[in-house]
Chain A
């Protein structure tokens, strides 16, 4: 029988000497709910689950998805969930040097002692960290080489909607929303453990559960150049969707981190899905349909959450918060009930067109954090192509409202390298920023103008699976560099702070997101060549990825700068995302038409 081995506190202490931010590796935060090991009579009856976020604590703890699963799992008397995050470089070095296996936070259980390890893959640039964590836990990274059933290794999250890149490493993946499927899956792990079943039995048992993709049960046939020829069997994995969101309350007793993390606030998901149809946006498709939570019960839960946590900031989350039908009622209700709490409200993902005066008034009454808007493109032509239904007039008006209400900081998100983009479209980005600055100069008093700041964030367009642009080509690194250069040269410097993502990183991200079975080998090679924390500017190593592709015999351009013919079988066709491929194609064609209209 396997025993649950743990690292003692004393041992942890000796590992923490001279480690940056030791608070990342200790437990005892308020709100943890894993089972107390000393009270577990028979470990054979308990399913030990490791919930892994493959980035550092500060990033991982800011993610709501993992807290939701943690809450669901720990409510059951048969399951226990513990958290694992990527150790930072210094602590990884220490663990390797001292030959100590990676362990969970709560009871410091060694990773290989868990029954099931679930990774949250929020984006593609975390793939190498997943391998690194398995390796730090002394777990074989390649699924078929893991003979024994336990630990089972699985993954979920936005970066597995195309399950191909991680197939090499995972026993199974969950595509879609895990709330309703996590319990049936863990029930099977429990049965498996109790009756000493093997992996094959387990995988067969869970194959019918919505969202479950089991790489072992599918066979992909490829042409020599890497295109998919056929997939067997023909039936698709249906994305798991929670039909009634109100059945799952928001987590009102989340774990409260002890150290400072990225988003230190009480998060409330108000709506899932987005009714806009931006053609580049993957979440807009993969979180369909739009589901609103009930506002009355949200107010109640928000108040409860603020009282339980003591946070002074509440964040209403959704893909487009101002589209939530009862947003004014909700914000009003929460604020009027928590008047004395000095609460500030944040509404990420506001849209310039929907920033109405009422909301500005309401959220403006507390502390003013920056306002973030995503025009995505500078020109009307480009916004029509991507279907971002928003005009310049609306945007400038909204910026004006924000300045009048006292905001001095505004963040604008743009994308370059969008399909059918011309230099005139990029010029328009610069013009739009200028217009925002003029608006501020008109409205803000001189004193405030000194502090006024526009943060302009520019990212390269990545064609993503399950979007209307999934067939489109990404710009080459050379072209992207030229476009970035153009912007850097022409953007006003005063009051503006520009940030952008390396085009090399965007290229890798694109290649991974449109990846196929070979991509698994690429990830493995890149990781072996030293790639990890690829989302961290200082850590990203393009050479490692070049080596990764070369050793796998793959051409990175095949995945990135190639326009995919519409009749080609896509590696992610195995997933039924809920939106028909025909619809996406129709949207793609509309964008082509739109680009020609305004030529």
Chain B
């Protein structure tokens, strides 16, 4: 039977952010089964579906970019797959993209090394203090923290739109040792505790976190897992 490998991107929002990586794995697999898509199972005593997910996201964080690779035993158009899956999934967990990929495509876990998180920060005492601090001393502290050394590539800093005391921050988390073959992904939890403590000193707290995208580092460029299989 024909084997097809599909890569798909899905969102994880609202209530579903409280579900663990393994919970989401089971929910997706059951959805595939309900959709009537023929999954390829591993051989052996305890057959497991051939599905591999991108790195786990911390519990409680919403995401616009989770990925998985699935091997199926039928010829299926990627768009049809999205439709079939989305009729089985709640609005908090929907597929947004899918592509048929080569069976030898490197696994998501080994390939992805960069995550893009955006933070909405709320200042408790409105003013310029935070921006100055961030450009100066605070920014330095973020960059020089041993646990996240080399982790920050770029910080996008935007002033709040209508509300003065809300600022937006974009953070690209890099793996610590991204140059080596054995890539490690940016560990959000390692960074987050430190970051929260740090900004508390500036009277700022994190209001909301969103994982926006994941990237693969290729030829000195950042590509999404979908772009890389083009």
Contact = CB atoms under 8 A, between A and B. Distances in A.
A264 B27 CA distance: 12
B33 A26 contact: no
A553 interface: no
Given A22-B60, A342-B41, A27 B30 contact: no
A346 to B, nearest CB: 14
B33 A28 contact: no
B32 interface: yes
A23 interface: yes
Contacts of B20: 23, 259
Interface string A303-320: 000011111100000000
Given A341-B33, A367-B46, A26 B18 contact: yes
Interface string A273-314: 000000000000000000000000000000000011111100
Contacts of A308: 34
- Interface core residue of B26, B32, B36 (most chain A CB under 10 Å): B26
Given A28-B90, A307-B34, A309-B34, A22 B26 contact: no
Interface string B29-42: 11111101011010
Interface in A229-283: 256, 258-260, 264
Contact of A310 (B29, B45, B90): B29
Nearest to A30: B90
A80 B20 CA distance: 30
Interface in A21-37: 22-23, 26-28, 30
Interface in A323-370: 340-342, 367-368
Given A259-B20, A260-B23, A340-B38, A311 B30 contact: yes
A409 to B, nearest CB: 12
A134 to B, nearest CB: 26
A30 B28 CA distance: 12
Contact of B23 (A23, A340, A368): A23
Nearest to B89: A30
Interface string A1-39: 000000001000000100000110011101000000000
- Interface core residue of A26, A308, A368 (most chain B CB under 10 Å): A26
B127 interface: no
Interface in B39-75: 39, 41, 45-47, 59-60
Contacts of A368: 45
Contact of B18 (A23, A30, A310): A23
A30 to B, nearest CB: 7
- Interface core residue of B14, B19, B32, B39 (most chain A CB under 10 Å): B19
A22 B59 CA distance: 9
Contacts of B33: 310-312, 341
A260 B22 contact: yes
Interface size class of A (residues with CB under 8 A): 20 to 34
Contacts of A312: 33
A308 B34 CA distance: 6
A164 to B, nearest CB: 41
Interface residues of B, number: 28
Contacts of A27: 15
Nearest to A307: B34
Contacts of A22: 18, 59-60
Contacts of B27: 30, 258
B3 interface: no
Interface in A361-419: 367-368
A310 B60 contact: no
Contacts of B39: 342
B32 A310 contact: yes
Contacts of B92: 28
A26 B30 contact: no
B16 interface: yes
B211 to A, nearest CB: 17
A30 B30 CA distance: 11
Given A310-B34, A367-B47, A16 B18 contact: yes
Given A9-B14, A28-B90, A367-B46, A256 B30 contact: yes
Nearest to A32: B90
B23 A259 contact: yes
A335 B38 CA distance: 16
Contacts of A311: 30, 33
A287 B14 CA distance: 43
Nearest to B28: A310
A294 to B, nearest CB: 26
Nearest to A368: B45
Contacts of A310: 29-34, 88
Nearest to B18: A22
Nearest to B29: A310
Contacts of B22: 260
A589 to B, nearest CB: 50
Interface in B6-27: 14-16, 18-20, 22-23, 26-27
Interface in A177-206: none
A10 to B, nearest CB: 11
- Interface core residue of B15, B29, B31, B32 (most chain A CB under 10 Å): B15
A312 B19 CA distance: 20
* Top 4 closest pairs, chain A to chain B, by CB: A310-B30, A310-B33, A22-B18, A310-B34
20 contacts: A16-B18, A16-B60, A23-B19, A23-B23, A27-B15, A28-B16, A30-B27, A256-B30, A258-B16, A258-B27, A260-B22, A260-B26, A264-B26, A309-B30, A310-B31, A310-B34, A311-B30, A311-B33, A367-B46, A368-B45
Interface of A: 9, 16, 22-23, 26-28, 30, 256, 258-260, 264, 307-312, 340-342, 367-368
Given A259-B19, A367-B45, 15 more contacts: A9-B14, A16-B60, A23-B19, A23-B20, A26-B15, A26-B18, A27-B15, A28-B16, A30-B27, A259-B20, A310-B31, A311-B30, A342-B41, A367-B47, A368-B45
